[in-house]
Amino acid sequence: MGKTVVCPGSFDPLTIGHLDIITRSSKLFDKVIVVVMRNFNKDVGSFTTEERVEFIKRCTKDLPNVSVDTYAGLLADYVREKGASAVVKGLRAISDYDDEFRQALTNQRLNPEMETIFMVSNAEHMFLSSSVVKEVCRLGGDITQFVPEEICGDIIKRLSRK
């Protein structure tokens, strides 16, 4: 049986940084499940869950070992249900690590078989977040260098003031 990992996130919207982590994971593991999850510490978001799933599918269509799913419960339960061995999380900065480390320890208590793998973002993506993309777009800035080409128009159409 091959190694399955889960790449969780809210992906509101997907950025080139997210896509980089997904692509790199797809080269290391047999199967990667990108799961769109609700972050209860944030608002409901700019895009529906269905739109986010569609965006990710469009951007990963050339990665045959990547699938996309949604889940509204505990990540530890999802990983168990899918028979995955680990979760892959991208880290941009030390501030990300603090929060992700606490989540990893909690998940390990909830599912002792689950590992968390931290993948460091490429240097050119370290500043990038979905929040940055949304703010730049809402203020009329150019987001073409921040999001995958396949979904850029959709994001601009939804968020731009133009």
Q: Catalytic residues, which ones?
A: 18, 42, 92, 130
DSSP 70-130: EE-S-HHHHHHHHT-SEEEEEE-SHHHHHHHHHHHHHHHHH-TT-EEEEEEPPGGGTT--H
77 phi and psi angles, rounded to 5 deg: -70, -40
89: left (phi over 0), alpha (psi -120 to 50) or beta: beta
How far apart are alpha carbons 103 and 97 in whole angstroms? 10
